[in-house]
Structure 1
Amino acid sequence: MDAEILEQETGRRQDGGAKRRQIMDGARTVFLSAGFDGASMNDIARAAGVSKGTLYAYFTSKDELFEAIIRAEYAQSAERLCTFRREGDPRTMLTDFGVRLMRRMAEPSHMSLARVVIAAVEKFPNVGRTFYEAGPLFGATRLAAELRALEAAGALKLPDPERAAWHFVDLCLSYVYKRLLFGVVESLSPGEIEDAVESGVEVFFRAYGA
């Protein structure tokens, strides 16, 4: 009997997880097409194929739903992106990280989400904080830990590892990311990404190399 109850409970959790993903998928489509301000819970329920009552059973507000999408977006790629490959010398490791970071940030889905957040943040600052904590802050914190390890190995000299991590990311983004963010260009080629990162790594080691 206990096994039957456990199996039923597991099934309910799985069904609940599937329904939650269904809602988030529908909401993501609406947010990216209408923007945060233009999206309504009615539109989201319709796009997700659920009743409004079901929608509110999972998410109490549009803000909560959007924050969940942001966190899920970054959770899917955080482990892959922030797993540092330690083969080769420090320059190779940081170049590899920088290229993977830039490729991720240049993905159309990420760019669209970033633009929605920028448009919403003035009225809904919590949306911006969620985006910052789940993405840029998480990545910089993980990178700072790796930079400390490189300093301990004698490859870097870092007065402030956290600030150095932010410097590294900004150097990799260079001007190419802003051109993409603001629609000056539609996409970045692999060569443009690699050139930006390699230049950033060169400047970084001139500043922090031991």
Structure 2
Amino acid sequence: MIAVFLRWERVVAIPKVRSKSEEKRQQIYDAASKLFCDNGFAATSMDLVAKNAGVSKQTVYSHFGSKDELFVATITARCEEFLSTSTASPKDSDPYTTLCQYAEHFLALLLSPEALAIHRICINESTSYPHVSRLFYKAGPERVIAEVRDILAEYKQQNILAIDDIHTAATQFLSVIKGEIWMHKEYNIEKPISMDKVTLYIQNTVRHFLVGYGYHPA
């Protein structure tokens, strides 16, 4: 049921023919993504990004005006990949099927090494660099919440779900989906969780969530 549960793969097609400027931008982006994940925000300088990307510092700044902008670009790109590959649609299926599909996709992203690394960066550096967490939240989680909000709003409009506060319901859904599965990965608990257990967890969680809003899956 969950094909990419522990591995988030980049699936956005990259044009086969790119200009030199586009190639350099991709080099910078790739280098920055790895450095942010490996070293954190504070320890990643634009000089280091330029060195690892094999370009000049001036070239880095010509594509990204600041380190903040570069950090946001890496988060935004991952979020766009996630949103563009999500197949969950309230127009094509019932709430149970749609939300189960979304939960699978969401967990695949959430448990990817990059997502876990960025989350730890925001926690570890939130005191010295509080704006980093704000940048991350706006570029990533806030957009995912908005997508879930849109899905739930569509079902509410169809009188399938009885939801008064769409935003709260969306954040509740994402929070309960994370659950123990995310904690095992985040806290490096070695006890493995079987795929069958993951599937059952998603199904039961989605079912309980929907019952709370007046929908009873078959």
Q: State how many pairs are aligned.
A: 198
- Identity over aligned residues, as a percent? 28
**What TM-score, normalized to structure 1?**
0.83
In structure 2, what is the equivalent of residue 69 of structure 1?
74
Out of 88, 94, 99, the residue aligned to residue 99 of structure 2 is 94
In structure 1, what is the equivalent of residue 201 of structure 2?
196
In structure 1, what is the equivalent of residue 145 of structure 2?
140
1:189 CA drift (Å): 4.6
Residue pair 1:82, 1:142 contacting (<8 A) in 2 also? no
The 1:111/1:192 distance shift into structure 2, 3 A limit, reads farther
Instruction: Tell which has more relative contact order, 1 or 2 (C-alpha 8 A, sep 6+).
Output: 2
Instruction: Tell me, in whole angstroms, the C-alpha distance in 1 between the residues paired with 2:131 and 2:86.
Output: 25
- Where 1:37 maps in the other structure, the secondary structure is coil
In structure 2, what is the equivalent of residue 39 of structure 1?
44
Report the structure, 1 or 2, having the larger helix content.
Answer: 1
Gaps of 5+ in 1: 1-12
* Superposition RMSD in Å: 2.3
1:186 CA drift (Å): 8.2
1:187 CA drift (Å): 7.0
String of CA shifts for 1:62-103, please: whole Å, max 9, x gaps.
222212211122122222227526444321111111111112
Residue pair 2:152, 2:166 contacting (<8 A) in 1 also? yes
Instruction: Tell me, in whole angstroms, the C-alpha distance in 1 between the residues paired with 2:19 and 2:123.
Output: 34
1:108 CA drift (Å): 1.9
The answer to whether structure 1 residue 150 and structure 2 residue 165 are counterparts is: no
**What TM-score, normalized to structure 2?**
0.80
Instruction: Tell me, in whole angstroms, the C-alpha distance in 1 between the residues paired with 2:186 and 2:164.
Output: 32
Out of 122, 131, 137, the residue aligned to residue 126 of structure 1 is 131
String of CA shifts for 1:160-189, please: whole Å, max 9, x gaps.
111111111111111221221222248755
1:202 CA drift (Å): 2.1
The 1:126/1:81 distance shift into structure 2, 3 A limit, reads farther
Larger Rg: 1
Structure 1 stretch displaced more, 157-166 or 47-56: 47-56
Gaps of 5+ in 2: 1-17
